Chain A
Amino acid sequence: MNLEELTKELAVIQDEILTKIKASEAIPQLNDIKVAYLSKKGPLKDLQTKLPTLKPEEKITFGQKINAAKSTIQSAYDKRQEELHLQEVNLRKDKNWIDVTIPGKKISIGHLHPITQLRREAENIFMNMGFEIVEPRSIDTDYNVFEALNIPVGHPARDMWDTFWTTNGYIPITHTSAMQHTILKEHDLPVRAIVPGRCFRQEATDATHEHTFYQIEGVYVDKNITLSDLIGTLKTFLSAFYDRDVQLRIQPSYFPFVEPGLEIMIDCAICKGKEGYCSTCRGKRWIELVPAGPIHPNVLTMAGIDPNEYSGFAWGMGLDRLVMIKYGIEDLRWFHSGDLRFLQQF
């Protein structure tokens, strides 16, 4: 074939390809067309194999023509590919319409009990302050619950606790202080420990009374530990826990295992002392939170510690109370309701 014929054929092939490109309706189809025409066995390659039959100058001319045709096809391909891509994007865009204001799919997440959460917070602060965590028994002996705490059988202070008894004479612990004697006896001095635990008192349950409640006991024994250390330690903890400079007010109280006995109160952050009734502090502006005191020398002696050499302090704070204040929970009974409507809020 001469140059003219070849040129003619090239034009036919080019038109044919361009028509097919234009007619293509999807990117895979378009790619197939391109592969079919540009591949080793495609019509353009076929024309190229005829190049040696031409004269040298014609070779150059025809070579240029083939390249021009390829370039035209490539442009058409690129253009069509862009068109088809856009077309598909637009198509999906429409297909993907959603009312973005409908709520997302409900996913069930497990919640930890609010008392668990705040107990951990308190534990972490105390650990940072150097206290180790000790777990109490839930049922203990009269000796650990009362006698070793300087409350012998028949002591009038026993009236202060409404105690449960099992039929064989053991006590579901009335306070986490039941661990004090064991800790003092078994741990090396100095002792710094907290005892978070579940406690029990024999009283009817209502919004503000529970027979099952939670305490965090604290015990600190070393040389030269003072009353001011006790108050300073609790103020440091409470300020860290509530993340503010908590103000304390202290009342004398009486617990046979400390001397003196203190009732530590904090300023009510709910009403901030403003006029009007406050359900958290009951209008008193101060909330009783931590009974505490220097450990009674008899308690140290009973645990084999010389009270002339060592001194210490202990407290038992109510964890339920901390949680109630933090979240403004009005009724203690929610804690043991097992009701997910309550639990899922934390």
Chain B
Amino acid sequence: MESKIYAGSTAGTFVSYSNSKMKISQNWLKEFTEITHSPEEIISHLNASLAEIEDYYDYENLYTGIIVGKITGLKPHPNADKLQVATVTTGEHTHTIVCGASNISVDDYVPVALPGTYLSEIDLKIESRDLRGVTSEGMLCSPKELGISDDHSGILILNDEPHVRVGEYFSTLVKAHDIVYEIENKALTHRPDTFSHLGIAREFSAIFGTKFSPSKADTKTKITISETHPHLSVRIENETLCRRYTAAVIENVTVKPSPLWLQQGLKSVGVRPINNVVDITNFVMLELGQPLHAFDKAKLTGEEIIIRTATEKEHLTTIDGKNRELDPSMLVIADEKEAIAIAGVMGGIDTEISKDTTTIVLESANFEHYNNRKTSRTLGLQTDASIRFSKNQDPNNTLPAITRALELLAELTEGTVSDTIIDQYPTPREIQTIEITADYIMNRIGDPSLTSEKEIISTLKKLAIDVTKNKDHLVLRVPSFRPDLTIKADIVEEIARLKGYDNITLTLPKRDLTPVSPNDAVLWKRAIADYCARLGYSEVYNYSFVGKDLYTLCNVESLLTIPLANPISPDRAFMRPQLLPQLIENINTNRKNFDHAAIFELEKRFHSVTDDLPQEITSLALARYEKHQPHAFLEIKGAVEALVNQLHIADVTFTQPTDDHPLINLFSQKRVAEVLISGESAGILGELAPAIEIELGFEGAVGIAELNADLLFHFTDSKRAYSPVSIHPELVMDISCLVDRNLSLDMLKNSIERSTSELLTSARILESLTDAAKFGEDRKSVTIRLVFQSPVRSLSKADTANDLQNVKTILQENFGAEIRS
């Protein structure tokens, strides 16, 4: 499951930070519903019933002190060639203002910053001041100085703004007073309708119980809908991927900057104004959720729009200037000749709107969401359009959106809107019906006092769900913009979230008294970790991902067999086949701060299996470092022996591993032993290979071990038998002998124990010495301590004579030993 905090997942590699946030303007919401609550109340309610509001911005003080003025007089500055002196009226007052720009004339409406105003964009406080002998009582502002755009070529001229009036606050003129909320929209992946101001306003009215009036977005223009058009035809080749295509032609448009209110509206929700045509398409998308696209009709070849899949290796340069290679899984919009847009993702640069455009084709279409998402991901191109289409937009929204856009285009581009709209809608979306009862809803929530049938019906109606009663059943007809509502559980959610989850009375499930069956593997791993800690080893966690460099340094790179397709970095490119190389790294990290370090890790390692999931083995790795010791073999072996002893694993032997052991290169050749349990290889231990020590610059000794913890579990014996402690004295005898140098002392000891009576309680190896001069090249001197004890009586030497003789015989006959004493 997903949680923003624990996975820290906000910034993915593909979905950018800003793409998971959506800005919503309160002014815009007010077009559709009443808002009287404070931002704090609004945030708290939206958080509880819709999605997290990450933040909000109050633009109340934007453009404070800027007033619309009119130039009533203009003359050259007496002392400076490049300056002019303007007389500006702001209604009751007239101001003398010195200005360096040359694009102003008498009767122009201009933004005036009066003394006392602070312009945050350029960090300037306006004061009355002397400019070469003339006192300037303020400043006329350029778009850049106001933060409207980067344009600093002249003063912002307001003559074309609708309803411009002398003395008006500039912020009122551009409708700047606003509160903008930032919504975390990851939680709205299933709610295509909320990717619009209209949708959020509908939610708002359901949450606060305010009136909802969507009609403000309705158009008054009379239009005819047809499948054909005199100068344009549309052909949908793939009706699965293109569910609807609606288009219109607008002639005689004038492409120019949008009026400031529109620019300001887009800017406040984070969209960059471009020109009136593009701004209108964005505006309608932000308002209604339907992405639109405008083509320059003059740049199209022929008069047919074809919606088809891309051909093999078809290329298109998108409006961001990138040439993109397409594949046949992708849907494109094409003219007779070639692709002109990637459907629902981005348009092509060749047909984009420019200042010379006079006739446009406006597209309002609906594309299948899975395919749209796949295309967007494959191309690494996520846009405002693809964000919306990939959530499964409502095909019934194309007409309201295009008519709204046509109305704005007629008004702001002076274009001639054709009265025929082409609309191809092969399979209209069906209305979903859900039958449910109020009792069902209450039972699923588990709090009968939370709500009532009456309240449920009124809440659902607020969400535009049509409710009729059929006896005790409610029959719900779900609007097409709510594809997320298909089953009863979806309706339970609507009621629960709108009532607020925090208001539900809590309960606990009822269950019987049957005890939980313990997970032996889990408890046993706890025991292993505890024993390791008792032995002085501290637990480390290392990544399950490793890199080639480390494994090459350890001469075990051939073990890397499970590469990741999309690693985070080269040093995390493979699933780890062993734990030890990383423990060696850990030792290297810690030796800077410690003269002694002992660590262990108990985690999974991975081994590839043909045509199946990798094998996962729980591995136990141990490492210890002693700066001031020459050796660590006996220490690491002692730890392993203590561990297997604690785990009650019988028949553990140690032997020289063969040269093809996968981990052999990690170890010093003469100081490595394979761990066998009942003859099965369970791990390896020893001292670190000198080559690695030298490479890492280690001093002192490093002992390492890696064991198959699953195998330890398999062989562990949880039954613990008690043996009484004898009160009678022990009889101790040492035997020294010369044996073959490669003889396994485990084997020797086991043979002795097997061939003696129960009076022998232990046979322990005291020492094993080599000395070529004294014992010969291929022999070693071994001293064995035999301990005899009886549970019932004191023993005399005579009691042990038989056993002692047996031991000597075995040593001589089975192992060719030469008894020394």
Contact = CB atoms under 8 A, between A and B. Distances in A.
Contact of A226 (B373, B444, B614): B444
Contacts of B369: 156
B533 A110 contact: yes
Contacts of B392: 156
B390 interface: yes
B538 A159 contact: no
B189 A166 contact: no
A175 B1 contact: yes
Nearest to B190: A254
Contacts of B444: 226-227, 294, 311
Nearest to B586: A338
A201 interface: yes
Contacts of A291: 1-3
A209 interface: yes
Interface in B48-64: 48-52
A318 B5 contact: yes
Nearest to A222: B509
Interface stretch (A59-67, A93-101, A132-140, A269-277): A132-140
B14 A110 contact: no
B529 interface: yes
Interface stretch (B97-105, B280-288, B492-500): B492-500
Contact of B447 (A161, A172, A228, A344): A228
B509 A133 contact: no
Nearest to A204: B568
A248 interface: yes
A254 to B, nearest CB: 5
Interface stretch (B34-42, B74-82, B588-596): B588-596
A254 B48 contact: no
B544 A212 contact: yes
B86 interface: no
A265 B39 CA distance: 21
Nearest to A115: B541
A251 B373 contact: no
A252 B53 CA distance: 11
Contacts of A252: 48-51, 187, 493, 497, 501
A153 B545 CA distance: 26
B590 A203 contact: no
Interface in B535-555: 535-545
B489 A259 contact: yes
Nearest to B382: A159
A141 B490 CA distance: 28
A22 B466 CA distance: 118
Contacts of A220: 509
Contact of A290 (B3, B502, B583): B3
A215 interface: yes
A233 B507 CA distance: 8
Nearest to A281: B5
Given A292-B1, A343-B539, A198 B374 contact: no
B12 A203 contact: yes
B487 interface: yes
Interface string A298-318: 000000000000010011111
B820 to A, nearest CB: 39
B443 interface: yes
B1 A255 contact: yes
A132 B516 contact: yes
Given A212-B543, A315-B1, A316-B3, A138 B616 contact: yes
A29 to B, nearest CB: 32
B9 interface: yes
B572 interface: yes
Given A157-B189, A232-B507, A259-B493, A251 B51 contact: yes
A222 B512 CA distance: 12
Contacts of B377: 159
B511 A213 contact: no
A78 to B, nearest CB: 37
Nearest to A206: B8
A141 to B, nearest CB: 7
Contacts of A199: 7
Given A130-B511, A251-B47, A297-B487, A318 B9 contact: no
Interface string B1-25: 1111111110111110000000000
Interface in B571-604: 572, 575, 582-583, 585-586, 589-590, 593-594, 596-600, 603-604
Contact of A132 (B12, B51, B517): B517
A263 B487 contact: no
Contacts of B487: 259, 297
Can you list the 9 inter-chain pairs with the closest CB atoms, starting with the nearest? A318-B6, A226-B446, A316-B1, A260-B493, A110-B533, A228-B446, A338-B586, A154-B370, A250-B501
22 contacts: A110-B539, A110-B600, A113-B539, A132-B519, A133-B519, A133-B522, A200-B544, A202-B566, A212-B543, A226-B444, A226-B447, A227-B492, A251-B501, A254-B189, A254-B190, A255-B2, A288-B4, A292-B1, A338-B541, A339-B590, A340-B593, A341-B593
Interface of A: 108-113, 115-116, 120, 123, 127, 130-135, 137-141, 153-157, 159-162, 164-167, 170, 172, 175, 177, 190, 192, 198-205, 208-213, 215, 217, 220, 222, 224-229, 231-233, 235-236, 248-263, 287-292, 294, 296-297, 311, 314-321, 332, 335-341, 343-344
Given A159-B390, A228-B506, A260-B496, 20 more contacts: A108-B598, A132-B518, A137-B613, A154-B371, A159-B189, A160-B2, A162-B12, A164-B566, A201-B9, A211-B543, A224-B443, A226-B447, A227-B496, A229-B446, A231-B504, A251-B47, A254-B191, A316-B3, A338-B542, A339-B590
